[in-house]
Amino acid sequence: MLDLVKKGFLLGLGATMLTKERVEKLADDLVKRGKLTTEEAKKITKDFWEETKRDIESVQHKGKKEIERLFASFDIVTRAEFDMLEKRIKELEEALKSRDE
């Protein structure tokens, strides 16, 4: 399941990188044809990349939330719960050990 989510994310990231290259190429072509200045082309490319990064972060956040929801439905112990239980066991073992001494 996680592998499928990871592959989907990487596929989306690869598509984004291809799109970024296309935006840069299109902007360069428009500069060559005199339709944009170099500064305008840089701004368009920069704005595109910033929006894309926000979109990627949003997808990551939504994916993480969905995975957490799925794991909750499987009644799987979280890492925080596991760590808390491990700490309690160690404390109990120490208490028993000191009581036996």
Q: What is the pLDDT of residues 52-90, one digit of tens each?
A: 788 878 877 888 888 778 777 887 788 899 999 999 999
Residue 46 lies in a domain: yes
Residue 92 lies in a domain: no
Q: How far apart are CA 75 and CA 1, in angstroms?
A: 16
Residues 6+ apart with CB under 8 A from 85: 77
Residue 58 lies in a domain: yes
Structural domains of the chain, count: 1
**Structural domain for 23, as ranges:** 2-76
Q: Global pTM?
A: 0.48
Residue 23 lies in a domain: yes
Residue 91 lies in a domain: no
Residue 13 lies in a domain: yes
Residue 65 lies in a domain: yes
Residue 98 lies in a domain: no
Say if residues 71 and 63 touch (Cβ distance below 8 Å). Answer: no
